[in-house]
Amino acid sequence: MHNLSIKELSALLQSKKVSSVELTRYFLNRIETLDSEINSFVTVTPELALQMAEVADAKLAKGNAHPLTGIPMAHKDIFCTDGIKTSCGSKMLDNFVAPYDAHVVSQLKALDMPILGKTNMDEFAMGSSTESSYYGATKNPWNLQAVPGGSSGGSAAAVAAGLVPFASGTDTGGSIRQPASFCGISGIKPTYGAISRFGMISYASSFDQGGPMARSAEDNAWLLNAMVGFDERDSTSLTMDKVDYTSSLNDSIKGLRIGVPAEYFGEGLDPEVATVIKHAMAELEKQGAELVEVHLPNQHLAVSAYYVLAPAEASSNLSRFDGVRYGYRCEDPKDLNDLYTRSRAEGFGAEVKRRIMVGAYALSAGYYDAYYLKAQKVRRLVRDDFTKAFESCDVILGPVAPTPAFNLGEKTDDPVSMYLADLFTIPVNLAGLPAMSVPAGFVNQRPVGLHLVGPYFSEAKILNVAHQYQQVTDWHKQTPEWIEGGRQA
């Protein structure tokens, strides 16, 4: 059951061969059996899930339910959920129970998709390995000594282990695509503004973007249909025509021009990862796509610019967590200054403090022009690179990450090395483009993702290419052996 696609699960529910309550119990049992090894969930909500499943079954019985009705799911713990703890992976929000639902949560609740719980993540979405969570590191189901990627590592690991058919994620510098790549699942970051950020706890507001994480491109298309849409409560929400992302999945990609940036295959890329990506390029060529060389000459500046701009926005966004208005409050403060400083010192973890310090420094008087303004100019150059490249191709292809999943603890003492894990994903966030990670093979039995990037609003085209690739490959159907039957490694 846990290896079936959302489309296949939907068919079982619609035909009454299985009920939503049975399906929900099945996945809750898998979480109870397996998640102690993986630590992909911060909170599990069995009572709520079963209540929602009963409502879903009542609607399914009437015969006019939505195709996603009754399919269990989980939310990254960054989305506010009415009545359920929303910790953002931090001690600062360990006791926070939101009084309302994020837009994404309410959209999916309206379809009666039972919520199994909230998934683990890097604290305030700052990290590339899900090791900075207050609730402990999540482990990669493919190798329990390896990280699942970050910051949506809990969502990626839960889907890869078959604990849930779908989980939501967010992508600020690659936090959907990089963990999807490390865990061998499919995840798409839509065009910035396509999915409302209302109720999503902010890290860097001009980068943050929610999106789905599931096994296949087809599953992602179904979920994107439900998640995309204008929301007046988010000033950056886009007004765009409603698109059925499933309608063009089976279009031929014959004649499609796929751009291959020479800069993606240079220094820093693991040669075995490069080989996997080149095999994927050959598969797409067999289907009639044309490979075109393109150049993104300023991509090497993207990581530096991102780690000025994102911390600058974070230093502002996280100023509200001071123990007075929001968040953890220290014990027995001596005075107001002690209350502020000790609450933030005790409530935030090391990586969050590091980024707040960097951001505050970059915005401070005397350094704004030297760092923040210069980084904004680099952001424009990176966006212009993509605009020029898309004059000669329809989508761009490359690796998601320079290496497969690294080991737990391998990069925790070297933040710069950790930041480079997002080397290929960050430029996309600087430009606000849609992009996707698709399973493309393995290196040392660890998954490798294929990166597909498109122009603004080209989600349907990206999903089409990904789906066609998944029609001739089975990487997205493979699962870790020890997971089957609840056996441990």
The burial of 109, by beta-carbon neighbours within 10 Å (0-12 exposed, 13-18 middle, 19 or more buried), is given as middle
CA quadruple 114, 120, 126, 127: dihedral sign:
negative
What is the pLDDT, as a whole number, of residue 485? 61
Segments of 356-453 assigned E as strands: 395-399, 435-443, 446-453
Q: From edge to edge, which strands make up the β-sheet containing 41-44?
A: 41-44, 115-119, 73-76, 166-170, 210-214, 186-189, 435-443, 446-453, 395-399, 257-261, 290-294
Q: Which residues of 453-480 are buried (b: 16+ CB within 10 A; e: fewer)?
A: bbbbbbbbbbbbbbbbbbeebebbebbb
Angstrom distance (rounded) from CA 282 to CA 326: 52
Residue 370 DSSP code: I
pLDDT, tens digit (0-9, with 9 covering 90-100), for 40-53: 999 999 999 999 99
State whether residue 426 is helix, strand or coil: helix
What is the pLDDT, as a whole number, of residue 64? 85
Active-site residue flag, 316: no
Residue given tokens 């990626």 in the structure block: 156
Residues 6+ apart with CB under 8 A from 289: 253, 254, 255, 256, 257, 258, 465
Active-site residue flag, 175: yes
| Catalytic residue of the set 20, 76, 90, 181 | 76
pLDDT, tens digit (0-9, with 9 covering 90-100), for 188-235: 999 999 999 999 999 999 999 999 999 999 999 999 999 999 999 999
Angstrom distance (rounded) from CA 130 to CA 392: 37
CA quadruple 21, 25, 26, 31: dihedral sign:
positive
pLDDT, tens digit (0-9, with 9 covering 90-100), for 353-405: 999 999 999 998 888 899 999 999 999 999 999 999 999 999 999 999 999 99
Tally of CA atoms within 13 A in the half-sphere of 274 that contains its CB:
12
Q: Which residues of 233-244 are buried (b: 16+ CB within 10 A; e: fewer)?
A: ebeebbeeeebe
Angstrom distance (rounded) from CA 321 to CA 286: 53
Find out whether 272 and 233 touch, Cβ atoms under 8 Å. Answer: no
| Catalytic residue of the set 10, 90, 132, 151 | 151
Report the share of the chain in percent with pLDDT over 90. Answer: 92
pLDDT tier at 489 (50, 70, 90 boundaries)? very low
pTM of the predicted protein model: 0.96
Q: How many CB atoms lie within 10 A of CB 370?
A: 11
Can you say how many angstroms the Cα of residue 273 is from the centroid of all Cα atoms in its chain? 21
The burial of 331, by beta-carbon neighbours within 10 Å (0-12 exposed, 13-18 middle, 19 or more buried), is given as exposed
pLDDT, tens digit (0-9, with 9 covering 90-100), for 309-341: 999 999 999 999 999 988 999 999 999 999 999
Residues 6+ apart with CB under 8 A from 371: 308, 361, 362
What is the pLDDT, as a whole number, of residue 29? 97
Tokens of 380: 């424009």
| Catalytic residue of the set 175, 202, 216, 437 | 175
Residue with the bigger pLDDT between 367 and 278: it is: 278
Angstrom distance (rounded) from CA 305 to CA 328: 31
The H or E element that residue 260 is part of is: strand 257-261
pLDDT tier at 486 (50, 70, 90 boundaries)? low
What is the pLDDT, as a whole number, of residue 457? 96
* Span 21-34, average pLDDT: 97
The H or E element that residue 247 is part of is: none
* pLDDT surpassing 50 at residue 37: yes
Kindly calculate the radius of gyration of the chain based on its CA atoms and give it in whole angstroms.
Answer: 21
Q: Which of 184, 160, 151 is nearest to 77 (CA)?
A: 151
* Span 62-70, average pLDDT: 94
Give me the torsion for CA of 116, 117, 121, 125, rounded to 10°: 110
76, amino acid identity: K
Report the share of the chain in percent with pLDDT over 70. Answer: 99
State whether residue 84 is helix, strand or coil: strand
pLDDT, tens digit (0-9, with 9 covering 90-100), for 155-199: 999 999 999 999 999 999 999 999 999 999 999 999 999 999 999
pLDDT, tens digit (0-9, with 9 covering 90-100), for 80-132: 999 999 999 999 999 999 999 999 999 999 999 999 999 999 999 999 999 99
Q: What is the mean pLDDT of the chain?
A: 95
19, amino acid identity: S
The burial of 401, by beta-carbon neighbours within 10 Å (0-12 exposed, 13-18 middle, 19 or more buried), is given as buried
Contacts 24+ apart (CB under 8 A), 59-62: 59/112, 60/13, 60/14, 60/16, 60/19, 60/20, 61/16
pLDDT tier at 488 (50, 70, 90 boundaries)? very low
pLDDT, tens digit (0-9, with 9 covering 90-100), for 167-178: 999 999 999 999
